[in-house]
Amino acid sequence: MNKFIYILFTIVLSLAMCQSAFAGNPDRQGEAGAYELLMNPWARSAGLHTMGTSFVSGVEAMRLNVAGLSRVKGTEVLVSSARYLEGTDIKMNAFGLAQKVGKNGTFGLSLMALDFGDIAVTTENSPEGTGGTFSPNFFNLGLGYGHIFENKISVGILFRAVSETTADLRAFGFALDAGVQYVSGPQDNFKLGLSLRNVGSPMSFGGQGLSQQLSVPNSSYQLSYEQRPAAFELPSVLNIGVSYDFIIGDKNRLTAVSNFTSNSFSRDQLGGGIEYAFNEKFMLRGGYKYDLGQADAPDEKNVYTGFAGGLTIQVPVSKKSSTTFGIDYAYRTSNPWGGTHNFSVRLGF
């Protein structure tokens, strides 16, 4: 069994090293697609700027480091809604389920959809709008599995289907996530995590929206011409994170977090944060993320560099029940727009 752990860890680490060789290139910024794969709808992890690679657990782990999926006690159900970049009228809605299977395994289901609202239809002849509206449908569905070994090493893998459609255009693809978490210390204080996300084949659009009626030269006939769409890569990303828990008394925990993110199609990012927990019922967190080699031009900056913060209230449903109910909130500053607000509700059984 230990041999299997080392082999799996070596594979993930090798993939990460290969990924990092092509990462952090600002010259490729904007060349990828399906950027909704980098959006985080879950409030608890968003409050730390999605930097909890080393200790994220349960449903939220499927968005950052799927290895943490195995660190649930039984069943976890999570529902979330977010106002993405306040002022754009875009919303993120998500649902997740994690179910313990046996002593060490956990299966997970994650679904996220974007709500763009009603967008006015414009044409060359009606640039101010035709009076009609449309709304793109972007969603992704993930199926993951996490396994924990003696509460020290956990590994996970996730397959995600990605769909982007309008009334006359569509694109579909698959992505793969993998991750490892390691826990050590007298009270499991030290945590190390590594995850590789959004590795998949290129996607491209197709459909009637790419066809056009054009006249045949020197003729009165018209023919339909199909445009050839360019394929686009998925925004692959590597996360390496560490954290340490300072246990103060019987009810207080202070966790220091650090995380490095290597992006394939933008600048690398480095950040840190702190989470305080009282009796694991009330939590307050905050973090800061910075682009390495950040440019002065506003249009070249990452939208999510800067401050993020959030809080959690989690209580038992009753004194005799092991079921817990929790509410999470997070706010992330953005440039431009007015930041992102995340709200999540969770049930643990």
Is 227 within the bounds of a domain?
no
Give which of 269, 304, 308 is closest to 286, Cα–Cα.
Answer: 308
> What tens digit of pLDDT does each residue of 13-70 get?
555 555 444 445 566 667 789 999 999 999 999 999 999 999 999 999 999 999 999 9
- Rounded CA separation 171/164 (Å): 5
pLDDT on residue 21: 43
Q: What is the CATH number of the domain that holds 105?
A: 2.40.160.60
Question: How does DSSP assign 248-290, residue by residue?
Answer: ETTTEEEEEEEEEEEESSS--EEEEEEEEEETTTEEEEEEEEE
**Range with lowest mean pLDDT among 110-114, 117-121, 135-139:** 117-121
Residue 91 lies in a domain: yes
Q: List pLDDT tens digits, range 152-168.
A: 899 999 999 999 999 88
Running DSSP on this structure, what letter comes out for residue 303?
A: T
In a domain, 222, yes or no: no
80-117 burial: b if 16+ Cβ within 10 Å, else e:
bbbbbbeeeebebebebbbbbeeeeebebebebbbebe
What pLDDT sits at residue 23? Answer: 47
Containing structural domain, residue 152: 2-118+132-204+236-348
For residues 65-85, give the mean pLDDT: 96
Yes or no: say if 46 and 40 are a contact pair by the CB < 8 Å rule.
yes
199 domain residue, yes or no: yes
Task: Give the other-Cβ count within 10 Å of 157's Cβ.
Answer: 18
Q: What are the residue ranges of helices labelled H in the chain?
A: 2-21, 43-46
In a domain, 214, yes or no: no
User: Residue 57 to residues 37, 139, 289, 296, 338: CA-CA distances in angstroms?
Assistant: 19, 22, 21, 36, 29
Kindly provide the b/e burial profile for residues 239-248, where b requires at least 16 CB atoms within 10 angstroms of the residue's own CB.
Answer: bbbbbebeee
Please check whether residue 305 is in contact with residue 269, taking contact to mean a CB–CB distance below 8 angstroms: yes
Residue 320 domain-assigned (yes or no): yes
What is the Cα–Cα distance from 91 to 85, expressed in whole angstroms? 9
Better pLDDT: 300 or 121: 121
Spatial separation of the C-alpha atoms in residues 64 and 237, rounded to whole Å: 10
Residue 226's pLDDT is 82
**Residue-level pLDDT at 299:** 62
Could you tell me the pLDDT band of residue 2, with boundaries at 50, 70 and 90?
Answer: low
Helix (H) and strand (E) counts in the chain: 2, 18
Stronger pLDDT, 138 or 296, i.e. the higher one: 138
| Residue 206 DSSP symbol | B
In a domain, 114, yes or no: yes
Is 127 within a domain?
no
pLDDT of 1: 47
pLDDT of residue 22: 44
- The pTM (predicted TM-score) of the whole model is 0.89
- Rounded Cα distance between 270 and 178, Å, is 21
Structurally, the chain folds into a number of domains equal to 1
Q: What angle do CA 25, 303, 244 make, to 5 degrees?
A: 80
